[in-house]
Structures are given as C-alpha cells and as structure tokens.
Amino acid sequence: MSDAMVEKKVDEVFCSSCGAIIKKEAEICPKCGVRQNKPNNVPKTDSKNGFAIASMVIGICGIVFSWLYFGTISGIVGLILGIIGLKSEKKGMAIAGIILNSLSFILAIILIIVLVGVIVATGTTSIFNWFK
C-alpha cells in the first residue's frame, strides 16, 4: 500500500515539516526529526482579566472621589465588573475591586444621608448658607 492511500486516524496529525502522519502526542517527527508545534501548550489569554483590573481601578477612584458622590454609580458598576472578573486568572484583583467598590458605595450612601440630615436640620438647601 502506498503513502497516498494511507489516511490519518483520529489520534494522528500531519508533521508540520514533512507532512508525514504522526501521533498527536509526538513532540518530534520520527521521519524527519523536526520538533512539532503544540498549539495546546500556548498560554491562553483570559479576556476577563480586564474586568478584574477595571473593577479595582474603579474601586480606588470611588474611594478617593466618594465625597463627590461618585461612589454610588462607580460602586455599582465596579461591583458588576468585579463579579465578572472573578472568573479570570486575576481573582485577587477582582476581590479587591469588589471590596473597594462596596466600601465606596457605602461611604457615598453615608455621605448622602449626612447631607440630607444637614439639609433637614438646617432647613436650607443652599450649601453656601452652611458656612455663614
């Protein structure tokens, strides 16, 4: 039987150099001696890593700018990104983002409650009247 009539089986591949039929597991072609490229050994990039990083950055910004009430919106967005980021390789960043965004959200809510309390207690809505 000639080589042209031989078909490869499920556990076989063609050599990347000479085209000979070899086993999938073979690192080197037994016919030509060329090392085979293993696509399975290529590290995969995780598309969810960006969500974990974004969650942590938004959490830091939410803490820093919570006095601008930025923490309410950023806290919710950052929490969602952090939860999605938990499926990534960077679980630590996702967890840090979740914690920071939770704190920024809570801090912003506390500041809103204090502001409403001051407005009700003073009977004024003008922030400039507070400093007279």
Q: What is the pTM of this model?
A: 0.57
pLDDT band at 1 (very low <50, low <70, confident <90, very high): very low
Residue 132 in any domain: the answer is no
Residue 94 in any domain: the answer is yes
The partner residues of 23 in beta bridges, in order of sequence, read 12
Q: Are residues 97 and 37 in the same domain?
A: no
Q: Residue 45: what pLDDT? A: 56
DSSP letters of 2-35? -GGG----TTEEE-TTT--EEETT-SB-TTT-PB
Q: Which tens digits make up the pLDDT trace of 79-104?
A: 999 999 888 888 888 999 999 999 98
Q: Residue 132: what pLDDT? A: 58
> Nearest CA to 46 among 105, 97, 94, 12?
94
Q: Are residues 34 and 55 in the same domain?
A: no
Q: Are residues 37 and 60 in the same domain?
A: no
Q: Which domain holds residue 71?
A: 49-127
**3 state SS of 40:** helix
The partner residues of 28 in beta bridges, in order of sequence, read 35
Q: Which tens digits make up the pLDDT trace of 13-29?
A: 888 889 889 988 888 89
Residue 1 in any domain: the answer is no
The position carrying tokens 């009430």 is 69
Mean pLDDT, all residues of the chain: 81
Number of domains in the chain: 2
Q: Are residues 23 and 74 in the same domain?
A: no
Q: Are residues 57 and 34 in the same domain?
A: no
Q: Are residues 71 and 113 in the same domain?
A: yes
Residue 64 in any domain: the answer is yes
Q: How far is CA 93 from the centre of its chain?
A: 8
Report the share of the chain in percent with pLDDT over 70: 80
